Amino acid sequence: MNGAQALFKALVDARLDTCFANPGTSEMQLVYEIGRTEGVRAVLCLQENTVTGAADGYSRMAEKPAFTLLHVGSGFANGIANLHNAGRANTMMVNIVGANATYHQPRFPEHELINGKIIDLARTVSHWAREAKSASDLAVLGALACRYAGMGAGKICTVIAPTNCHWDPATEPPVTMTPFEAPKVAPQTIAETARLVVNGKKTGMVLGSHLLHGEGLELAGKIAAKTGITLLGETFPSRLARGEGRVPVKLIPYFLEMALKDLASYEQLILVGALTPVATFAYKGKPVLKIPESCQVITFATVEHDLLAALRDLTQELNALSEPVELTEKMESTPPSGVLTAESIGKSLCSLIPENSILVDEGATNGLTIFELTKGARAHDYLSAVCGGAIGGGLPLALGASIACPDRKVIALQSDGSGMYTVQALWSRAREKADVIVIVLKNDDYAILEVELARVREGEANEKMQSMMNLNNPTLQWVKIAEGQGVPGSRAETADEFHQLLESALARKGPYLIEAQIAQNIQAMIDLVRGSK
Amino acid sequence: MNGAQALFKALVDARLDTCFANPGTSEMQLVYEIGRTEGVRAVLCLQENTVTGAADGYSRMAEKPAFTLLHVGSGFANGIANLHNAGRANTMMVNIVGANATYHQPRFPEHELINGKIIDLARTVSHWAREAKSASDLAVLGALACRYAGMGAGKICTVIAPTNCHWDPATEPPVTMTPFEAPKVAPQTIAETARLVVNGKKTGMVLGSHLLHGEGLELAGKIAAKTGITLLGETFPSRLARGEGRVPVKLIPYFLEMALKDLASYEQLILVGALTPVATFAYKGKPVLKIPESCQVITFATVEHDLLAALRDLTQELNALSEPVELTEKMESTPPSGVLTAESIGKSLCSLIPENSILVDEGATNGLTIFELTKGARAHDYLSAVCGGAIGGGLPLALGASIACPDRKVIALQSDGSGMYTVQALWSRAREKADVIVIVLKNDDYAILEVELARVREGEANEKMQSMMNLNNPTLQWVKIAEGQGVPGSRAETADEFHQLLESALARKGPYLIEAQIAQNIQAMIDLVRGSK
């Protein structure tokens, strides 16, 4: 058995069966083994940020580790942005990164970085990163990566695999493949928190990571029903179960000014797998906390803990296990007509989203409105594409989610600026015949930057400033870009056209793209951040 | 004066006048200053690997530092692959990377990396990287970056700029803006090398970095003419002056097996701004050096030295300053017809390349043939897109070269697989009305991987292995992808069609794309690496 074979044995033993890949020369021995390993599916992506973003979407929906195959330092680097998003989403992932042979690296062939090693890059976005020293070591590291990936809320694990570790002989890897156990929250903390949530203070419980869907959310719903506290959610949830029949959660708004207003009355926040709510960016002369200075923040459990066990214990301590919960009701929505706006799209989606679909959101400024208007749609899973703030996650994430759940319709809200970041991801959904509808929210603008520039500019933005934010020179033709990659599509210019297009797209199977030419007015957002109103 | 203003004063004082950018929220104060700074041009790119690749192309042709504006860790990461290529090409570059305010970073807002800082990423691909501690520090670092960038053969310099360093008050930056001086090669080394090149041994002088064009190449030509040594060049030259009337140089072949054959008779190599020729990747049971074990390698000057001064001194020592040099002659080529192949494209280019044009090469397996056939074309500059081996450099590089030299025609040889890596770069050439013809060498395949897999596989590649290398499921329609981004184009399926399309594309100004559907046979390459012939 050589190192490549031992590595794949370790991964397959750990039930990793879907490999998102863009291999290069140094991965050929691994490609050869994937090709010969039954039950391992290979998904080719045309750039590594699609590889890592798709792996993220896959793992969030499959609830097991995704694995990626990446090529040397530059290939790994191309995938960092979406690894960063995945890391902030606590996604379970195992990355195998080919590298030059250990004995060749010191000769500084082309792919060696001028001032560092792949491991230096890998560490920044991995919870755990190692470089194999030998063929047997490679397989052991592969097995360890699988065990760490599933530990706690989920971890990004990266193994650097020099080529001589592929072809040298290796001993068989260990076969104990269950994830390492995450620490439990102490009984004393459970008891203390149970007292805190009934102390009469205005209380929010901030849910993060995988507590926003499934058992975690149901437990939190019982706690809220029993105690009267409010359930809050991270601004960019990795996976939120929402819509009809789901436990309602208020996400903390993105805009600092809006969050401060929403959270002004809270006296205490209990964090469960979430962090203290802070602004994504600091601004001159403004606070960075999204809560009042006086609000007390208590960390009940972190993503390093066994979060589900923590909520189970707290629910039990509160004697709330059979507490009835008031669930979200279906919101009726009539088909919109006239001008095509985020509002009209929100209404169309609210009436048309199918039961059990997956809504991927990289809708940026238009996404905020659509999110609000689809709260009462049929039950669906909602995935934020910007858990780490990096743009370019949406198209890959939707691809991966669809590969994990081939029988569920995926709808991707995609702003045009972010969409161009990983536009290559369209090809892979044609390759995989992924059942994904992409809705390009086309405003020909990085609109969020116009809002953010309004914070710092005196007077109006001049032409050169505008030219650094506008995407209208030339305008992008998304239907052509999609068709060029094998994905059919159509363009909508009115609310009626959009509604009809969405309806017919939902009736078919396979990839489709709708270019929605949106009329957007960002004045309210500008007023909000400039404090003009 | 605030930090942003002080920084731009430093950059403008150092004559940096073209900013390649994809800004985000944390760069708005900088966008505002660029907008108000006369004489600074802003080139918006739709993903950061286009930003850095275009900056690389710009600097190679403008012969002064390019500067980039990048957004936090994920934005920097997106640009690493082409920064790596630029670093290996010894390009002069100054990167300004916005970051969250120093006081906000510890609160771990979304953009903070889970296990590192931007500076950790920056160091790997920068010769020099610093994070500003204050507004005044930001301007000083900006000034230093400009001085380092131009030192020696050229350096990648990166300054991390937290937002509070933009808006806080700053003192005016220093104004001494000439590059730091690179060390000279010692007179003793000059004298020793002058003796070596006439010792009668079969000698190659390997030229690297900026010695492959301009004065460097002319000096090397005189040395070769005087002594009878052979001029060799790095496999992937950053800028090679070639064609009619230029000093001939033999590039070291990419394929190890070919290089070993070519270089078998050499007894000594003199390195001037180049490294010992080694294989890009190590292979099981094969040597890694491209030269015989017995060949002596002497480092005359490194990229850290003043390379031009070194060659001037050596030329003088050899009394070769007015030595007549035999220059490359024009190769006649008749318009090809019939099947469209790399050979036919090479012939078309050889007869049609205009005087003083720029040929950017990311043609991969097809590029090798085209390179050979265009040696005797009209004089042109040749830029390799893969100086660091990372793919995705071609389209950005051609954009930047065109912005540096708006009056010169740029022709980009682009393989389809690599082209998809930075396909967003097409939009910016429409935005800039860049005079670039992209020739997509479409073989629906990562052909180089098929060759490399042939080194490790027993028997034939199975369907799953093929599916990880083939781009035909579905095939890409490049004309649509280009048109969708505002770049007109056409498709050629025969040598005649291609020749006519190229001729008419050369007669017009502005961006254009030709999709060349190539019939390729890689059997000879497979035989070469498998040693079958």
- For chain B of 533 residues, list the mean pLDDT of each consecutive stretch of 10: 96 94 97 93 98 98 96 98 98 98 98 97 98 97 96 96 98 84 97 98 97 98 98 98 98 97 98 98 97 98 97 98 97 93 98 98 96 98 98 98 98 98 98 98 96 94 96 98 98 98 98 97 95 70
Q: Do B284 and A167 touch (CB under 8 A)?
A: yes
Chain B hits for A80, Cβ within 8 Å: 73-74, 77-78, 80, 121
Q: Which of A279, A456, A468 sits opposite B42 (nearest CB)?
A: A468
Distance CA B226, CA B135 (A): 55
Residue A527 CB-density burial (10 A; 0-12 exposed, 13-18 middle, 19+ buried) = middle
Residue A506 CB-density burial (10 A; 0-12 exposed, 13-18 middle, 19+ buried) = middle
- Which candidate in B468, B470, B476 is best for mutational testing of the A interface (most A CBs within 10 A)? B468
All residues at 6 or more sequence positions from A256 whose CB lies less than 8 Å from its CB, including other chains: A279, A283, A286, A287, A290
**What is the β-pairing status of strands B128-131 and A230-233?**
unpaired
Nearest CA-CA distance, residue B263 and chain A, Å: 18
Q: How many CB atoms lie within 10 A of CB B38?
A: 7
Nearest CA-CA distance, residue B67 and chain A, Å: 15
All residues at 6 or more sequence positions from A469 whose CB lies less than 8 Å from its CB, including other chains: A445, A446, A449, A450, A453, A461, B23, B31
Decide which of 3.100.10.10, 3.40.190.100, 3.30.750.24, 3.40.50.970 is the CATH code for A3-167.
Answer: 3.40.50.970
Chain B hits for A111, Cβ within 8 Å: 280-281, 388-390
CA angle, residues B399, B404, B405, in degrees to nearest 5:
95
Buried b (16+ CB within 10 A) or exposed e, B363-400: bbbbbbbbbebbbbbbbbbbbbbbbbbbbbbbbbbbbb
- At the topology level, CATH places domain A342-530 in Rossmann fold (3.40.50)
Nearest CA-CA distance, residue A378 and chain B, Å: 30
**What is the β-pairing status of strands A250-251 and A296-301?**
unpaired
Residue type for position A77: A
Distance CA B57, CA B60 (A): 5
Q: Do A164 and B389 touch (CB under 8 A)?
A: no
Task: For residue A222, give both structure tokens.
Answer: 């019982």
B67-89 pLDDT tens trace: 999 999 999 999 999 999 999 99
Q: Do B278 and A109 touch (CB under 8 A)?
A: yes
Distance CA B97, CA B78 (A): 12
Q: Do A103 and B421 touch (CB under 8 A)?
A: no
Q: Hey, CA dihedral for A65, A68, A73, A76, is it positive or negative?
A: negative
Which pLDDT does position B177 carry in this prediction? 74
Q: Do B479 and A484 touch (CB under 8 A)?
A: yes
Helix (H) or strand (E) holding B271: strand B268-272
All residues at 6 or more sequence positions from B117 whose CB lies less than 8 Å from its CB, including other chains: A124, B73, B105, B131
Phi, psi (rounded to 5 degrees) for A21: -145, 145
CB B318 within 8 A of CB B226: yes
- The predicted model gives A316-343 an average pLDDT of 96
- Kindly list the distances between the CA atom of residue A210 and the CA atoms of A89, A207, A215, A308, B408, in Å, as whole numbers in the listed order: 9, 8, 9, 9, 56
Task: For residue B516, give both structure tokens.
Answer: 């060349």
Which pLDDT does position A450 carry in this prediction? 95
Count of CB pairs separated by less than 8 Å, A with B: 338
Q: Which of A125, A279, A484 sits opposite B480 (nearest CB)?
A: A484
pLDDT of A533 > 70? The answer is: no
How many CA atoms lie less than 13 Å away from A474 in the CB half-sphere? 20
Task: For residue A220, give both structure tokens.
Answer: 């939190």
Residue A334 CB-density burial (10 A; 0-12 exposed, 13-18 middle, 19+ buried) = exposed
Beta bridge partners of B96: B69, B159
Which pLDDT does position B175 carry in this prediction? 79
Phi, psi (rounded to 5 degrees) for B263: -100, 10
Helix (H) or strand (E) holding A10: helix A3-13
Distance CA A201, CA A223 (A): 15
- Which candidate in A18, A74, A84, A303 is best for mutational testing of the B interface (most B CBs within 10 A)? A74
- The predicted model gives A419-430 an average pLDDT of 98
Q: Which of B163, B279, B467 sits opposite A281 (nearest CB)?
A: B163
Chain A hits for B453, Cβ within 8 Å: 28, 31-32
Q: What spatial distance separates the first Cα and last Cα of chain A, rounded to whole Å?
A: 70
Place of tokens 């944390």: B26
Distance CA A415, CA A456 (A): 24
Mean residue pLDDT of chain A comes to 97
Distance CA B427, CA B46 (A): 8
Q: Do B484 and A484 touch (CB under 8 A)?
A: yes
Which pLDDT does position A333 carry in this prediction? 84
Q: Do B452 and A28 touch (CB under 8 A)?
A: yes
CB B430 within 8 A of CB B378: no
Phi, psi (rounded to 5 degrees) for B205: -105, 115
Q: Do A424 and B427 touch (CB under 8 A)?
A: no
Residue in chain A lying closest to B123 (CA): A115
Distance CA B11, CA B28 (A): 17
Q: Which of A111, A464, A483 sits opposite B35 (nearest CB)?
A: A464
pLDDT of A347 > 80? The answer is: yes
Where, residue-wise, is CATH 3.40.50.970 in chain B? 3-167, 342-530
Residue type for position B183: P
Predicted complex ipTM: 0.98
Which pLDDT does position A260 carry in this prediction? 97
| Nearest partner of A441 among A420, A422, A464, judged by Cα | A420
Where, residue-wise, is CATH 3.40.50.1220 in chain A? 187-317
- Kindly list the distances between the CA atom of residue B6 and the CA atoms of A455, A468, B65, B139, B156, in Å, as whole numbers in the listed order: 20, 21, 19, 5, 21
For chain A, give the percent of residues with pLDDT over 70.
Answer: 100
Beta bridge partners of A278: A289
* Displacement of CA B294 from its chain's centroid (Å): 32
Residue type for position B30: L
Task: For residue A447, give both structure tokens.
Answer: 């609109």
A282-307 pLDDT tens trace: 999 999 999 999 999 999 999 999 99
Distance CA A299, CA A272 (A): 7
Nearest CA-CA distance, residue B491 and chain A, Å: 13
Q: Three-state SS for A44?
A: strand
Residue in chain A lying closest to B86 (CA): A114
Beta bridge partners of B275: none
Chain B hits for A251, Cβ within 8 Å: none
Phi, psi (rounded to 5 degrees) for B311: -70, -35
pLDDT of A201 > 70? The answer is: yes
Q: What spatial distance separates the first Cα and last Cα of chain B, rounded to whole Å?
A: 70
Helices assigned H by DSSP within B197-327: 214-227, 256-262, 307-317
Chain B hits for A299, Cβ within 8 Å: none
Q: What is the largest CA-CA distance in chain B?
A: 70
Nearest CA-CA distance, residue B136 and chain A, Å: 17
Q: What DSSP string describes A162-201?
A: ETHHHHSB-PPPP---SPPPPPPPPHHHHHHHHHHTTSSS
Chain A hits for B156, Cβ within 8 Å: 114
Which pLDDT does position B39 carry in this prediction? 86
Nearest CA-CA distance, residue B92 and chain A, Å: 14
Homologous superfamily of the A187-317 domain (CATH):
TPP-binding domain (3.40.50.1220)
Nearest CA-CA distance, residue B104 and chain A, Å: 6
Distance CA A168, CA A325 (A): 59
Peptide bond before B336: cis, by omega within 30 degrees of 0? no
Which pLDDT does position B173 carry in this prediction? 86
